[in-house]
Every structure is written in structure tokens, then in C-alpha cells.
Structure 1
Amino acid sequence: MQARRKAVIKLAGEQLLLLALTFMMLYPLLWMVAGSFKDNGTIFTTAHSLLPNRLDFSSYIEGWKGFGGVTFATFFLNSTIITLLSTFGSVASSALIAYGFARIRFRWKKVWFVCMMLTMMLPFEIIMVPQYVMFNWFGWIDTYWPLILPTLFGTPFFIFLIMQFIRTLPHEMDEAAKIDGCGKFAIFSRIIVPLIVPAMMTCAIFSFYWRWDDFMGPLLYLNKPQLYPVSLGLKMFSDPDSITNWSALFAMSTLSVVPVFVVFFLFQRYIVEGISTSGLKG
């Protein structure tokens, strides 16, 4: 009986500790959500309280109006276009490249794989200037091409993740498909792709997060407010030369994290399944 009581006390202590750590991690987000319902002049004077005196939705209405005739609906639409196209391009191209590395024999395969893995160590700041010069020479500034086109050539982290997943699949399936007359692309599209959906969904979720939150890329290549994604739209609320509308900024920031939470809660099982299975072999 005493042992059971100790186990219950230990479990309760662990749960309380986890709840305290969870609250500490979520506190900045909760503070931002609470600030979105406060008056702009009382956000920092009542910063110690997460509960506003009254629910004021005027900051959401004011923030949604945007700037210069460009509403926040435009910013959300731009972010959606960039995120969906770049995510699809990144996952599809990475899956195809991963299949090549995992299943197809070709000359200098290991050398190309090492070169691909080395690119994961390159910070974005190193390739930022050469990329900008190249895209400027193409005349693609103030377009979405610099943000979408590079994703069509694969993402090293996704290639490695999907390749490890493909290595867990038996080669006998490929041999059986070859006997039935399937070529390499048919094997990939009909046999491999349906089996690597968890890994591809994991990559899609990560890509969605990265592209939705991307700030530096749009800041470099987009100059027209009509083309701004949400990340640059939020920046427009902060004006160092005048008064920053913090309540509207927090309101639109709160709305901007809603798609991220929705995607996470709908597809979180794919994250665990895709990452855990990718490390079983190879």
C-alpha cells in the first residue's frame, strides 16, 4: 500500500512538473493572445496579467484592414500561395531524388550523396548574396519565383529522411514490379510513393512551418506590399518613427499562428511515424 502511495505521489509530482514547464513554454504565446484583446495603451501597463479587463475585438478589426488599401486577407493569400507551391515542390522533388539515392545505381553515387549532405551545413547567409545576384539577373525580383523555384530541386534534410524510409522497404517489391513490366518511374509512382506517405507528410509539415514563417526570403526579393506574405505584413505594424500599434500586431500575430496549429493537430501522427520509422535501417 505504501509503495502504491509513493508511486502515486511520484506520478503526481512528475505531472505537476510537466504542467509547470508547459506553462513556461506557452506563456509568451498566451501573453500575445491576451495582449490582442487589450487596448494599445494598456498592454504593457497590465503586462503582469494574462486576463484582459474586457474582451476588445477592435484590434482584430483594425489589424485586418492592413495598410495602404492592402488588407491582411491579401497577406494570408500570398503566404498560402508561397507555402503550398514551395511545399509541394520540395516534397515531390525530394522524394524523387531520395528514390534515386536509395534504389538506383549510378556513377559516383556516394560522392553526389556526400555533396548533397554537405549542403546541409551551409548557412543561408553564405548563399544569400549569390542567389540574389542570380535572381536579379533573371529579372525575378518582386516575383515569387526566388521563393518557389529553389524548392523544386529538393531539400537535403527531406531527401535524407525519405531515403532512410525507402531503405526500410524490401527490394523484392521492386523485383516483382520489374517482372510485371514496370520501369523505374512506374515503380516509384505506383509502389514506392504509396508506402512512403508518412515520411512525405512529415516533410510537408516541416516545409509548411518553415515557409509560413519565412521572413528573410520575402524581405530580400519582395518590395511591393501587394506581394507581401504574413511575415512581412506583421513587420509593417512596427514603425520606429511613430507609435507602434501593438494590439493590432498581437491580433494579427495570433491569427497567423492558427494555420500552424491546425496543421500540427491534424497531422501530428505523421511526424512521429515518419521520423521513428526513418531510422529503422541504414
Structure 2
Amino acid sequence: MTSETLRVRRADRPAQPDDRIRRFTRHLLIIGFGLVMLYPLLWMVSSSFKPTELIFREPGLFPSEASFRNYTEGWGALAHPFEHYLLNSALIAVLAIVGNLLSCSLAAYAFARVEFPLKKLWFALMLGTIMLPVHVLIVPQYVLFSKLDWINTILPLVVPKFLAHDAFFVFLMVQFIRGLPRELDEAARLDGCGHFRIFGRIVLPLCLPALATSAVFTFIWTWNDFFSQLIFLTDPDKYTVPVALRSFMDAQGQTSWGPLFAMSIVALVPIFGFFLAGQRYLTRGIATTGLK
């Protein structure tokens, strides 16, 4: 009797009571752990419907008084309606996505398919930049952008994305392109295609999962970026969502918790929507690049 036959017979065998108990216990633990992880988010959603004075008096998830007052007050509590800050964040996020997809895919193709001097050294230096924290780079970046008169514009947040600034996405796409058959390149080269035509007509269409993964991560990281946007944007008219949420706390440390929670929920909606829209490609992109 072969091992394959034994596996088939075990699969056809009905589940034993002990197996069912273990499976039930495992799923129960996973559900419980998931609820623990989601509790802060659920609490914030619940608190967004409570009056501010009851948020910390009633720690439970079910408010005794529920209304949409925090949403209406929070939407118009700042210098501009909250949609103004949503549009500012959306503009920066869209430009960041376009820049990352264009520049990082070109750089990845060069590292994966083009031979040039000191290629391994440049690739190692590129990977080394991933280990540099943003707080180390922010001072020289601020000095450079100040001399270029870019402070209080979106240029410091957008232009580096068009220069393959994010080494993580370059590495992710390099890993994906290396998994594509080189025979496709060789066949295209026999037809007279150069590197740009091979990249645009063969490699780029096949990189859709990696591109979608990069787009999802770029959107989430850019939308949630508070530190860089706080440093480079000083005009309240140009504030993005994270900086605008900080404005709900005044100089004396007093915070309008109800409107703050309500607008935080509004700010999370685009992230969830973008993640759900690209979830299928996100899973494929990570799996096919060998990342864990």
C-alpha cells in the first residue's frame, strides 16, 4: 500500500471527537485573540457615538446615549471642513503611489535584468538604506528642501517617491522580477526589443501583484504619515488628515475626544477600502516575492 493511498484513506476517514474538540478549541482561541486585538478599534467606534463627558465614565462598548453629534461637530470643528484635509491627504497619497510604482519598478528592472558595473555593491547599499530610520534623515532632508524653497509644499513628500526613494518596494519588485522566466526577455530581444520595450510590454504587465502590493503599502504609509507631514507642512490650509487630527488638541492639552474619535473613524475608512480592494493582489504579491 503506497503512502499516497494511506493519505487518501486518512482524508476520507471521519473526524474523531478528539479532533473536533481540538479544532473547536483552536478556532475559539483564534477568535478570542482576534477580539482582543480589535477591542481598541471597537472601543473607539463606540466612543465616537458617546457624548464627550461619558467617554471615560462608561468604558463599555455599548453607549447608554448614542448620537451622531460628534461627527457633525468634528467635521466642521477646524479651520476648514474635514473633507479639505481628506483631499489633501488623497492628493499626496495618489502622487506617492504613482511615483513609487514608476520609479521603483524601473529601478527593480535594472537590478534584476540589466548588467552594469558594481551592481551588487549598489544593490547592497540600496538595501542598507532600509535600516536607516527616518529620524536620522529628516534633518539633512529639511536643510536640502529648505534651500530648494520647498518647505510648506507637498514637494518634499512627493518628489522623493519619483526617485525610487523607498528601497523596500525596489527590493520587493526585484524579487518578483527575478522569478519571471528570462526566456520571455530573450524572445523579445530576438524581435528587436530593447530594455524599455521589454520592461513596458512584458515585465510590467506580469508585475501586477507586486505593483498592487506596493500601491497598498504606499497608500497606507503615506496616509498615516504624521511625522514628515508635520515637519514639512506648516500652513494649516495644507494640513493632511494626521496633522489635522492633532489639531483637536489645543495648546493647553485639552482634547475634544468625541469629535477626535469620530474623525479618526472617518480617516480609517479610506484605508480599509483601499486594503480590501487590493487584498487579493496583496496576498499574491507577498507570496510570490518570497517575503514572510
State the TM-score, normalizing by the size of structure 1: 0.96
Match of 2:49 among 37, 44, 57: 37
In the TM superposition, what are the counterparts of 1:51-90 in structure 2 within 5 Å? 51-68=62-79, 70-90=80-100
User: Is 1:107 the counterpart of 2:140 in the alignment?
Assistant: no
Deviation (angstroms), 1:3: 6.3
In the TM superposition, what are the counterparts of 1:143-222 in structure 2 within 5 Å? 143-154=153-164, 155-222=166-233
Deviation (angstroms), 1:2: 10
User: Is 1:46 the counterpart of 2:58 in the alignment?
Assistant: yes
Amino acid across the alignment from 2:94: L
Aligned to 1:10: 22
Deviation (angstroms), 1:240: 4.8
Amino acid across the alignment from 2:125: C
Amino acid across the alignment from 1:38: K
Q: CA separation in 2, counterparts of 1:3 and 1:100? A: 53
Aligned length: 278
Q: CA separation in 1, counterparts of 2:20 and 2:269? A: 37
Deviation (angstroms), 1:153: 1.3
Deviations, residues 167-226 of structure 1 (Å, cap 9, x unaligned)? 111111111111112111010000000001101110111111100000001110111111
Match of 2:148 among 138, 155, 162: 138
Deviations, residues 15-61 of structure 1 (Å, cap 9, x unaligned)? 110111001100000000000000010000001x1011232101000
Deviations, residues 106-155 of structure 1 (Å, cap 9, x unaligned)? 11111111111111111111111000001011111110000001111112
Q: CA separation in 2, counterparts of 1:93 and 1:108? A: 20
Structure 1 vs Structure 2 CA RMSD: 1.4
SS of equivalent residue, structure 2 residue 52: coil
Aligned to 1:257: 268
Deviations, residues 218-271 of structure 1 (Å, cap 9, x unaligned)? 110111111000000100011251632100000000011111111111211112
Q: CA separation in 2, counterparts of 1:19 and 1:176? A: 51
Deviation (angstroms), 1:8: 0.9
Amino acid across the alignment from 1:34: S
State the TM-score, normalizing by the size of structure 2: 0.92
Q: CA separation in 2, counterparts of 1:223 and 1:244? A: 21
Match of 1:243 among 219, 239, 254: 254
Aligned to 1:122: 132
SS of equivalent residue, structure 2 residue 16: helix
Q: CA separation in 2, counterparts of 1:249 and 1:243? A: 12
1:78/1:179 CA distance change after superposition, 3 Å: same
* Structure 2, unaligned runs of 5 or more: 1-12
User: Is 1:22 the counterpart of 2:22 in the alignment?
Assistant: no
1:252/1:176 CA distance change after superposition, 3 Å: same
Q: Which moved more, 1:229-238 or 1:172-181?
A: 172-181
1:190/1:54 CA distance change after superposition, 3 Å: same
* Structure 1, unaligned runs of 5 or more: none
Deviation (angstroms), 1:67: 1.4
1:176/1:62 CA distance change after superposition, 3 Å: same
1:173/1:2 CA distance change after superposition, 3 Å: closer
Q: CA separation in 2, counterparts of 1:66 and 1:229? A: 15
Deviations, residues 71-108 of structure 1 (Å, cap 9, x unaligned)? 10100000000011011101211011000000000111
